[in-house]
A and B are shown apart, each in its own frame.
Chain A
Amino acid sequence: GENVEQHPSTLSVQEGDSAVIKCTYSDSASNYFPWYKQELGKRPQLIIDIRSNVGEKKDQRIAVTLNKTAKHFSLHITETQPEDSAVYFCAASKAAGNKLTFGGGTRVLVKP
């Protein structure tokens, strides 16, 4: 089955700096790659996703890149703010209706 690895497990950045989280996946048939943000005590919520026919997607201060050949994708957060502090999860999914496999999560701390 699919295996998703996520690095780093923790990331501390100064406010205003950029943060990058990287994930690799094992199943070349995976074609949907969402990122979820989980604030303390809250449920995970989707912040951005990318499909395998696209190499990059951007939404304001966050962007995701996908390298299908290398089977890795990354989340980039620019101009980090304290409210970006949370746990971030990457995930991969193979086809419509199939299960969603998550990485181990990255705890991001933005220091003011």
Chain B
Amino acid sequence: DVKVTQSSRYLVKRTGEKVFLECVQDMDHENMFWYRQDPGLGLRLIYFSYDVKMKEKGDIPEGYSVSREKKERFSLILESASTNQTSMYLCASRQHVLNTEAFFGQGTRLTVV
């Protein structure tokens, strides 16, 4: 069974704080993704990574950065959290070679107050 694990299920942070969301996968997948899920807006891609230390911006990268120092771990960083970043964050991973299924983490519900 593929496992994609996000470090926190719920987080409450203050405006202006630096926030780290961690994601780990155990299937040696090359590709990892961070999505943001908001009602009516679906899953919007923030950043993705296709290899260690490689990253590409998604559709809504503003206010976020990412880090991939090891193949199994992909971190999303909110440099200075703002209330409009209150959302559900989902990490996903999948193989690179073929178009295949993406496996999701359980999600992190972030509230910025």
- Chain A residues close to B by CB (< 8 Å): 1, 6, 9, 31-32, 34, 42-46, 49, 51, 89, 93, 95-97, 99-105
Contact = CB atoms under 8 A, between A and B. Distances in A.
A96 B42 contact: no
B61 interface: no
Contacts of B48: 99
B99 A44 contact: no
Contacts of B90: 43-44
Interface string B36-60: 0000111111001010000010110
Q: Which of A9, A43, A103 has the most CB of B within 10 A?
A: A43
B43 A89 contact: yes
B104 interface: yes
Contact of A43 (B45, B94, B97, B104): B104
A43 B56 contact: no
B99 A31 contact: yes
A42, A45, A95, A104: most-surrounded residue (chain B CB, <10 A):
A104
A33 to B, nearest CB: 9
Interface string B95-113: 1111101101111000000
Contact of A44 (B58, B97, B104): B104
Contacts of B106: 42-43
B40 A104 contact: yes
Q: Among A51, A89, A97, find the residue whose CB has the most chain B CB atoms closer than 10 A.
A: A97
A99 B94 CA distance: 10
A23 to B, nearest CB: 11
Interface stretch (B12-20, B27-35, B72-80): B27-35
